[in-house]
Structure 1
Amino acid sequence: MTEVTTRMVETTDGLTLAVYEQGPAEAPTIVLVHGYPDNHSVWDGVAQMLAERFRVVTYDVRGTGESGVPDSTAGYRLAQLSADFAAVLDAVSPDAPVHVAAHDWGSIQTWESVTDPALSSRIASYVSISGPDLGMATAWLRERAHLGSSLRQLAHSWYVFAFQVPLLPEAMVRSGLLARFVGGGPRPTKDQVNGVELYRANFLGKLLRPEPRTTDVPVLVIAPRGDDYVTVPLQTEAPRAYVTSLTTRVIEGGHWVVATEPELIAAEIEGFIEKEGVR
């Protein structure tokens, strides 16, 4: 097991993010971004494998783990999450582009950076797992050509609308209902409660005004066939009109495949980086 070092990085709104690094200091850097309701540790298995050949960076997204907690819902908006990502890059790789892999909400928020012209030049490659860009997803859901697929995805996404209801998701967390619904092992109560604000801060705005953006960053979308929350068609089809260099891979596994199949995910990430010749 490689040694893991920790540093604290300040955000543009005065919070601090706990950032973890391992692997050879001189190697290419890869940043792994976690989703809800996890913290950086969901990547532990993948990170240990990648750290044999990469400098691997993970961090606790705001509101989780050892990172600071915003004092309002606005503190969880995508623009701020993208600014947090930029702050991490400034700290760990200010002079060279990084590879990025992200899961669930980590993937949703990282699309915001990948499609931002001010940040995309700092990203050498992007692997998205079980987390679509909200603008691209909304545009895809509105297309009439695949109404059945859109309705199936909406059925999978019922919890997104439940999370907009005041007090309901917090009650689900404290009763243990959310943990039984989510699965994947125990998580701190505070991380589960705080992360609900991600849904409240971003979904309704994107549903009303999707405004998807394009990117030239090479992107690999990994779509687990058994994902209970994000369907394969949404993951693989929604980005097609917006990503210049898109590769899609449908794999066996469930939503938390990053934790349950770390060898597979590490191999997919490394293989994509080598294939694109951007190492």
Structure 2
Amino acid sequence: MGVRVESGGVRLAVYEHGDRGAPTVLLVHGYPDTHAVWDGVVGVLAEEFHVVTYDVRGAGASDAPRGLAAYRLPVLARDLFAVVDAVSPDRPVHVVAHDWGSIQAWEAVTTPGARIASYTTISGPCLDHVGHWRRGPLTRARLRQLLHSWYVVAFHVPVLAPLVWRVLGPRWHRVLAALEGVRKPASPSIVDDAINGIALYRANFIPRLRAPRERRTTIPVQLVQPLRDNYVTEGVLADVHLWAPDLRRRVLDAGHWAPITHAGEIARLVTEHITARTGSA
């Protein structure tokens, strides 16, 4: 069921599944996806939980405000909190996030007083943690991550990235199938979603890497690392325990889009984390 939740004048498309009386699991998608990236995971988790997905600002059926300021991490965290307040006003929620959804969820998880009971992060580090990690000598691990992040540089080139997406967008499902082994229908909003989402990179990467903040949390965190991720390497995640001491690491023999290709395994890991770290399911 879809509803609209307002956050700072931006309307977010929110979808609920399962028993509203059960613990709430909030799933946050990445770039250039929509809430639909979680469909396989939702189908499993909704048997036991109240499962909520939403299109982040700039994607899918949610509003797409203009300007980089509208896509900075604190604003994105406020969106997440607005959804939490709307779908679970009386109880904390369990957050699961992938890719850029994970990056913005880290902002929420490291915000004092966040009503978050547990966090599962997949293929998306906290940019502030990355900013601290990258300081120091150019080790093999840092060089490897730098090479895997080539697209971040491309997204900062004026005109180029939007132009590429206008050509690539309609063929994106074929690209995913060929390069990542991911088979899913093309989203009708893929071109707009991809172009709008460039602002996520431009609004946050350089400020956070140049001047990283101290972002810590005591919330139980589960870090799921797909072994064949072509974008986020294990090196960049090595120091997460320094910022999230209640940390549970899991590896998965999967590529970057594990929520699609390994939906059942992701759902199992989420359920185990919720049960093990909070004592309830």
- Does the TM-score normalized on the shorter chain lie above 0.5? yes
Work out the CA distance in 2 between the residues paired with 1:66 and 1:156: 30
TM superposition shift of 1:252 = 0.4
Kindly indicate whether residue 2 of structure 2 is the aligned counterpart of residue 6 of structure 1.
yes
- Identity over aligned pairs, percent: 47
Q: 2:127 aligns with which of 134, 140, 144?
A: 134
- Matching residue of 2:151: 159
1:221 paired residue number = 223
Structure 2 residue 203 is matched with structure 1 residue 196: no
Deviations 1:241-271 (A, max 9, x none): 1112011111100000101110010001001
SS of aligned partner of 1:142: coil
Q: Work out whether residues 232 and 250 of structure 1, in 8 Å CA contact, stay in contact via their aligned partners in 2.
A: no
Aligned to 2:165: 173
CA offset at residue 74 of structure 1? Answer: 1.2
Match of 2:246 in 1: 245
Aligned equivalent of 1:232:
234
2:13 equivalent in structure 1: 18
RMSD: 1.5
Q: 1:113 aligns with which of 101, 108, 113?
A: 108
Counterparts of 1:195 and 1:275, CA distance in 2: 35
Q: Which runs of 5+ in 2 are unaligned?
A: none
Distance 1:81 1:42 in 2: 19
Q: In the alignment, residue 84 of structure 1 is paired with which amino acid?
A: D
Distance across 1 between alignment mates of 2:54 and 2:279 = 23
1:91 maps to 86
Separation in 1, partners of 2:139, 2:226:
21
> Paired residues, what number?
270
Q: Any conservation in 2 of the 1:125–1:278 contact (CA below 8 Å)?
A: no
Distance in 2 of aligned mates of 1:166 and 1:82: 27
SS in 1 for 2:241: coil
Answer whether contact 1:124 1:278 (CA < 8 A) is retained: no
Give me the whole-angstrom Cα distance separating, in 2, the residues matched to 1:142 and 1:152: 15
For residue 89 of structure 1, report the CA deviation from its aligned partner. Answer: 0.8
1:82·1:109 contact (CA, 8 Å) conserved in 2? yes
Give the CA deviation at 1:30: 0.5
TM-score (normalizing by structure 2): 0.93
TM-score under structure 1 length normalisation: 0.93
> Letter of the aligned partner of 1:64 in structure 2?
A
